Chains A and B, each alone.
Chain A
Amino acid sequence: MEGARRTSIRGSLLMARLVLSSPTGFAGAVIVAGLLILSLIGPVLAPYDPYKQDMSERLMPPSWEHPFGTDQLGRDILSRVLYGCRISLSIALLVVAISATIGLLLGLVSGYFGGLVDEALMRVTDLFFAFPRLILAMAVAAALGPSIINTMLAIATVSWPVYARLVRACVLQVRNETYIEAARAIGAGHVRILFRHVLPMVVHVVLVQATLDLGSIILLAAGLSFIGLGAPPPTPEWGLMVSEGRLYIRSQWWVSTFPGLAIMISALGFNMLGDALRDAFDVRLGR
């Protein structure tokens, strides 16, 4: 209905204003917006073909021709970083979409029905939490073999338990509310209660966690590529580029530094935006 649209637009505007009014939120939003734009038009901006090798131009320091310098195969680093933006961002977004959806569904079921289902699911998540995320992702990635798809699968496999836990905790609170009992009293079934009544009350925690997670997934993907379990060469993946430049780090610092900075800035951007988003939700929900 007309009014619903009006109110949800008003709500989103309020959220946007809250996020942008904090300095970190503003910086995060600018960085994330920049990353999104670069991942869309990066290939257009790139001055060179990121795969084109030129051994006569190898390991050139930053100059007007090559603002970020060239790598050991004479490829333009700026172009590679720009192309890499799309790769890193699509990995991060896809992984978050998959793991948040899985975690959300399992968390909803676990928290709402409780009992044996809950016990079983929570013990599985305990299993995942018992290992560091990177180690577990390494194991999965090593088993699957290096490719971008496998990197995503590996990271998604280790990322969903956080969402499941978070959502479950939230559902435990919500399911005892009177409005849930009221829904039962009018004859609503479990599916309807879960998706129409419980879900709207937990979706914001998923949103905040997903934003924060985007940063750490970019790091994780870069980490996997760095140790050779992620994207295979010659993919212009940031982690892989850092790894390839590590032999030259003493004399040709730019080979690793620029992709490293890209990783750092994007992880930072998502974290700052996520933090501000959480604060904004807290304000809006009156906590």
Chain B
Amino acid sequence: MARELVRVEELRKYFPVRGGVFHRVVGYVKAVDGVSFRIEEGTTFGLVGESGCGKTTLVRTILRLIEPTAGRVIFDGVDITALRAGELRRMRRHMQIVFQDPYTSLHPRMQVSEIVAEPLRIHFGVGGEEARGEVLRVLREVGLGEEHLDRYPHELSGGQRQRVAIARALILRPKFLVLDEPTSALDVSVQAKILRLLKELQSRYGLTYLFVSHNILVIEYMSDYVGVMYLGKLVEVAPKDELFKNPLHPYTMALLSAVPIPDPRARSRKRIILKGEVPSPLNPPSGCRFHPRCPWASEECRSYEPELVEVGGEHYVACHRWEEIPRVNTYMARR
């Protein structure tokens, strides 16, 4: 049994919504509403869900870039939600993040050498020539070289920028790396290269990843465990192979059936087409949040919220009717 590196317990983030003449709080957007999961050292936890389901808020809250409303995050045995500002800053060298859009995550007026060296300056007080060797080493590791040291972000391509962002995250040799859709702003060919690079780095340094994506194929390629998120909650968590072979939550099935299959004969496959739009997290549906779009919703689903329960073999699902509903899985059929 591998060691647990990150444990998230009942994490919540509510954003107050203000309105009216007096600017009073009229409601809350429950972007993250009671999420719990754990990540073992050296593995990748993939987080998948539609745009707007709270993935980004969740990972930022885990790193305390956004203050959580409630809940705890235990990192390497330390409750980081209880740390004071100074302690948290020192802790940050062990947990880093790569953002989605490399066009906005690098300071436009800083050169690559400054960007990558800055964590060293902050945590060890070294910079300039002293840091140069280390900066160059980490740049080479992400596939860049000496010729990029003096460049500004606007002189680099999207893929190169993302490599710089990865280098910045890696230079402190963190244990835990959050990857918030690190490839979705990039061209497909560049995506593949970056993903391969991330896998390589993980096996070389035994890194632990929290990998966020809305792309189920990317998640399948990267992850050891997968969590499926819907409207601020995890609806299903399982080891990757188990989840893709045996999805239990109707939402997971719908997600899997939406993956295009490059085979014209598979056109007749059964697909689950969801009705309607994702409801507003400002006013989530009663009971199970998925019930207005679920083909198998019952009275129970409309009134009671299902808990995330283990149904065997590290497979968790939050659905009242997971045993009764038909198993639809066209995803694995494409192999």
Contacts and interface: CB of A to CB of B under 8 A. Distances in A.
Contacts of A130: none
A185 B97 contact: yes
Contacts of B89: 187-189
Contacts, number: 71
Give the contact-size bracket for chain B. 20 to 34
Contacts of B96: 185-186
A1 interface: yes
A187 B92 contact: yes
A179 B150 contact: no
Contacts of B90: 187
Interface in B89-122: 89-90, 92-93, 96-97, 99, 101, 104-109, 111, 113, 118-119, 122
A196 B113 CA distance: 15
Contacts of A201: 108-109
B55 interface: no
B12 interface: no
A181 B89 CA distance: 13
Contacts of B63: 185
A132 interface: no
Contacts of A185: 63, 65, 92, 96-97
Contacts of A183: 107, 118
B14 interface: no
Nearest to A199: B109
Nearest to B102: A178
11 contacts: A1-B111, A3-B150, A177-B104, A182-B97, A182-B165, A185-B65, A185-B97, A186-B122, A187-B92, A189-B122, A201-B108
Interface of A: 1-4, 6-7, 177-179, 181-189, 192, 196-197, 200-201
Given A188-B89, A197-B107, 19 more contacts: A1-B111, A3-B111, A6-B150, A7-B150, A177-B104, A178-B104, A179-B104, A181-B65, A183-B107, A183-B118, A186-B118, A186-B122, A186-B169, A187-B89, A187-B119, A187-B122, A188-B122, A189-B89, A200-B109
